[in-house]
Chains A and B, each alone.
Chain A
């Protein structure tokens, strides 16, 4: 009997390998029809779902968290955080027979976004600032020496404990290059034990062997790939494409949920379609597009590398066309919301898909290599209170509800024109505060690269002549 089961299992494994080989061949040939591409995607997604279900059984992730509007529920198959109202939460969260109404529901029910969440959905942990690559646009200004006072495994373990107590669902681990850290696997294990799903970004340029051995501990791994061949060097300042490409291939051989992060620059904007084709050919699970930010060394390269206004306006249709053509899942980062809103998509649909602009200090927080808490990875840590040190990620719960926590990031409702009258403002929240701070010196200023803001500035600067205000007609006279 046991021998029969073993034989069946072997046959099953062989069959799966055959299917994989066939799909690889199909994907490699470009799977010339949309139907072919979708078939490859569908089989990959189904097999990834089976892997995830197995992982979730081994290390159950956090499944729910109460919020003022109701609750956030986590699904692993399909992967989703589902925001539900109180009535739905009562049916799906067992608060306990006879238990009192949760205090968080004592106040009237709100809508999503009316108030900050009870804790972030995810935390972005910059585990180290060590990296040998020296990319000219590096947003953390990483160096081979790293930052002073970098935390080790013990401190980051405490940080994960704090995040777990707060109710955080996911962490995104990055650097520097975190893959070189000898304790990365141990930290990922600790995240799993505490019900947090760890995800990782790597350059693929170092620490690959170690990463391959622990890749199954991560929910999703994305490799930074800012262009193909010479385009990579044009963005990063050195030719690292072959190494990044080798890392992607190696990771994809051992893990299904591997994607690429692409920082979109003036030079690489025209390369987006080939990048989607690359992702389809290698059967990657997603392409995530990131706007170039003026942070770290990126502040010096910003004027040269940032996209033009015309590229920003063309971004959304170009991305959707490429995603459709190659049947690849696409994500865009929060700073692109003004460029999406420019095309006036259905606001209700954006809200249902959680497409928000700057949610730093609300949906997400960041932590520097020494544990300093930030609203997002690009932002400076909040100023220290009188006779106190800057808040650390291990003090998240104490800081979260404090007065003026996260400063301008939480004050997005006090918007100026043209944001104040923009119908997308409740979603976009004024665009990227890091770009605003760099360009105007004020993080609260409207995102200067938003097409609406550009248009308004152009109108104001138009002829140089004083503006003529048209008479306002009252309703009685209309």
Chain B
């Protein structure tokens, strides 16, 4: 059986957590715009949305990184 990427590092793998979510895109070419709409509804709604985002990310196929590039900082896919 092939080891899954999740089990490569440790026998007991933490589920991990989402640290922050930057919503939307910023078309403004002069400064960084951040979506503050969530401040209207507060932490409770964000706490409800975050697990959904987590589930979406876990549900999609793991993003592959090129093995040769995988040990450099800022690796991308």
Cβ-defined contact, A126 with B63, below 8 A: no
Q: Decide if A410 is an interface residue (CB 8 Å cutoff).
A: no
Cβ-defined contact, A220 with B24, below 8 A: yes
Q: Decide if A329 is an interface residue (CB 8 Å cutoff).
A: yes
CA of A79 to CA of B33 in the docked complex: distance in angstroms? 14
- Given known A199-B26, A222-B27, contact A118–B73 (CB-CB < 8 A): yes
Q: Decide if A359 is an interface residue (CB 8 Å cutoff).
A: yes
Cβ-defined contact, A91 with B24, below 8 A: no
Q: Decide if A272 is an interface residue (CB 8 Å cutoff).
A: no
Binds B, one of A5-13, A82-90, A150-158, A458-466: A82-90
CA of A94 to CA of B64 in the docked complex: distance in angstroms? 5
Q: Decide if A172 is an interface residue (CB 8 Å cutoff).
A: yes
Name which residue of chain B comes closest to A69, CB basis.
B19
Main secondary structure of the interface of A (DSSP, over half): mixed
Cβ-defined contact, B27 with A84, below 8 A: no
Q: Decide if A100 is an interface residue (CB 8 Å cutoff).
A: yes
Interface size on B, residues (CB 8 A): 59
Q: Decide if A288 is an interface residue (CB 8 Å cutoff).
A: yes
Q: Decide if A197 is an interface residue (CB 8 Å cutoff).
A: yes
In chain A, positions 400-453 with a C-beta closer than 8 Å to chain B are: none
Contacts of B9 in A (CB 8 A): 90, 101
Q: Which one of B16, B30, B56, B77 lies within 8 Å of A378 (CB-CB)?
A: B30
Contacts of A89 in B (CB 8 A): 16
Q: Decide if A393 is an interface residue (CB 8 Å cutoff).
A: no
State how many angstroms separate the Cβ of A88 from the closest Cβ of chain B: 3
Can you list, as one digit per residue, whether each of B41-77 has a CB less than 8 Å from chain A (1) or not (0)?
0110010001001101110111111010011111111
Name which residue of chain A comes closest to B50, CB basis.
A352
CA of A351 to CA of B18 in the docked complex: distance in angstroms? 11
Cβ-defined contact, A75 with B32, below 8 A: no
Name which residue of chain A comes closest to B34, CB basis.
A355
Interface size on A, residues (CB 8 A): 99
Cβ-defined contact, B33 with A320, below 8 A: no
Q: Decide if A356 is an interface residue (CB 8 Å cutoff).
A: yes
Cβ-defined contact, A219 with B37, below 8 A: no
Q: Which one of A63, A86, A222, A378 lies within 8 Å of B63 (CB-CB)?
A: A63
Cβ-defined contact, A80 with B16, below 8 A: no
Can you list, as one digit per residue, whether each of A49-91 has a CB less than 8 Å from chain B (1) or not (0)?
0000000000000111111111001010011111111111111
CA of A84 to CA of B36 in the docked complex: distance in angstroms? 20
Cβ-defined contact, B27 with A86, below 8 A: no
Cβ-defined contact, A86 with B75, below 8 A: no
Cβ-defined contact, B57 with A75, below 8 A: yes
Cβ-defined contact, A290 with B28, below 8 A: yes
Q: Which one of A101, A124, A356 lies within 8 Å of B34 (CB-CB)?
A: A356
Chain A positions near chain B (C-beta within 8 angstroms)? 62-70, 73, 75, 78-104, 111-112, 118-119, 121-122, 124-126, 139, 166-167, 170, 172-175, 197, 199-201, 218-222, 259, 261, 286, 288, 290, 293, 319-320, 323-324, 329-335, 340, 345-346, 348-349, 351-356, 359, 363-364, 366, 376-378
Known: A83-B21, A84-B57. 15 other contacts (CB 8 A): A66-B65, A67-B74, A79-B25, A83-B22, A102-B71, A104-B73, A170-B26, A174-B30, A221-B27, A222-B27, A261-B27, A320-B40, A354-B20, A355-B34, A363-B32
A-B contact pairs, 21 of them (CB 8 A): A63-B77, A79-B25, A82-B53, A82-B57, A90-B6, A90-B16, A91-B16, A93-B77, A94-B65, A96-B8, A96-B70, A99-B70, A122-B32, A201-B30, A220-B27, A293-B30, A340-B36, A349-B46, A353-B39, A354-B20, A376-B30
